[in-house]
Amino acid sequence: MTARTAARHWLMKSEPEECSIDDALAAPASTVPWVGVRNYQARNFMRDAMRPGDGVIFWHSGCEPPGIAGLAEVASTPYPDPTQFDPASPYHDPRAQPESPRWMLVDVRALRRTPYLTPGALRLHPELADMQVLRRGNRLSITPVTPQEWAFLARLLA
């Protein structure tokens, strides 16, 4: 790890049709590349702040209902998302060049399925009232989770 000593925690959204917690658990070493992020703030979290060992809440999105589906961890340092260079990919970015990639990713290692917790279930807990994913209008695919939120969720998901 760098000079930073404490692990950080993240909530990472994935559409289950693209990569579910079960898909990630079934992958070699239960590890998947987190491809397709095309939001600069989310990219910056991966590029600048995530480190191997950071905790991840695996969130199913784009489904009804969305919610927490599992726990994972960041498994790699950031590297260029290869889908940005592939014209056949839905994540292709014609402005990205191999010598100056625009989009980065990290590998995520799934650790386990958890009880499925929807936003409605999470809102029942005052300890999670400020959690970014529960804020109206939040659409970021990656958001930080505070140490207090992480500790509460770890107890809730045990």
Q: What is residue 98's DSSP assignment?
A: T
Model confidence pLDDT, tens digit, residues 107-132? 999 999 999 999 999 999 999 999 99
What pLDDT score does 138 carry?
84
Q: DSSP letters of 27-49?
A: SGGGEEE------HHHHHIIIII
**Residue 2 pLDDT greater than 50, yes or no:** no
Question: H-type helices in the chain, by residue range?
Answer: 21-26, 40-44, 119-123, 147-156
Residue 5 binned pLDDT confidence (cut-offs 50, 70, 90): low
Instruction: Write the pLDDT tens digit of every residue in 44-60.
Output: 999 999 999 999 999 99
pTM of the model: 0.94
Sign of CA dihedral 42, 96, 61, 24: negative
pLDDT, residue 3, reads: 55
Report which of 91, 75, 68 is spatially closest to residue 143, judged by C-alpha positions: 68
- Alpha helices in 32-144, H assignment, sequence order: 40-44, 119-123
Distances (CA, A) of 95 to 16, 48, 86, 91: 28, 21, 12, 12
For residues 32 and 73, the answer to whether their CB atoms sit within 8 Å is: no
Taking only the tens place, the pLDDT of each residue in 74-88 is: 999 999 999 999 999
- Are the beta carbons of 8 and 150 closer than 8 angstroms? no
The domains of the chain, with CATH numbers, are 9-156 (3.10.590.10)
